């Protein structure tokens, strides 16, 4: 999966979650996705590659970083609680959808808003 496809899938999933909002920071290269006024996903372009930054359970985040070459510690975020996902050969659509949903649920208090 290439990096632009990664961001497109992540955006589509996030914007279909109840109560999710998209904000643009002062820097137009950062998209900030929130639920209940709390960030659950960020998208930006690191030098040379677009990425998605997601909240993750600390134990799961560590396992994901070990298992997938395209998942690294959260860029500009708490490295224990956030992951950065880049496009590449180890990440597929199903995984991206699950990671976005998991991040949202962690921030929304374990259950989707409006359910």
Q: Taking 80 as the threshold, does the pLDDT of residue 53 lie above it?
A: yes
Three-state SS annotation for 7-47: HHHHHHHHHCCCCCEEEECCCCCCEEEEECCEEEEEEEEEC
pLDDT for 99 equals 97
pLDDT for 78 equals 74
User: Would you say 91 and 70 are in contact if contact means Cβ atoms under 8 Å apart?
Assistant: yes
pLDDT for 112 equals 47
pLDDT for 109 equals 83
As its CATH architecture, domain 3-107 has Alpha-Beta Complex (3.90)
pLDDT for 18 equals 95
pLDDT for 114 equals 44
Contacts of 65 (CB under 8 A, 6+ apart): 71, 72, 73, 83
3-state helix, strand, coil in the chain (%, to 5): 35, 30, 40
Quote the distance between the C-alpha of residue 43 and its chain's center.
7
Q: For 11-36, what is the mean pLDDT?
A: 90
Q: Give the residue from 19, 26, 22 showing the smallest Cα distance to 10.
A: 22
pLDDT for 110 equals 55
Question: What ranges do the domains of the chain cover?
Answer: 3-107
Three-class DSSP category at 93 = helix
């Amino acid at each position: 999966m290439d990096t632009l496809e990664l961001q497109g899938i992540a955006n589509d999933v996030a914007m279909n979650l109840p109560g999710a909002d998209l904000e643009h920071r002062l820097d137009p290269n950062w998209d900030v996705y929130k639920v209940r006024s709390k960030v659950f996903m960020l998208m930006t372009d690191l030098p040379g590659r677009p990425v998605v930054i997601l909240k993750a359970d600390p134990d799961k985040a560590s396992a994901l970083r070990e298992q997938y070459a395209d998942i690294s510690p959260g860029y500009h975020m708490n490295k224990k609680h956030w992951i950065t996902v880049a496009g590449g050969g180890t990440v597929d659509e199903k995984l991206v959808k699950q990671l976005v949903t998991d991040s949202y649920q962690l921030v929304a208090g374990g259950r989707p808003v409006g359910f």
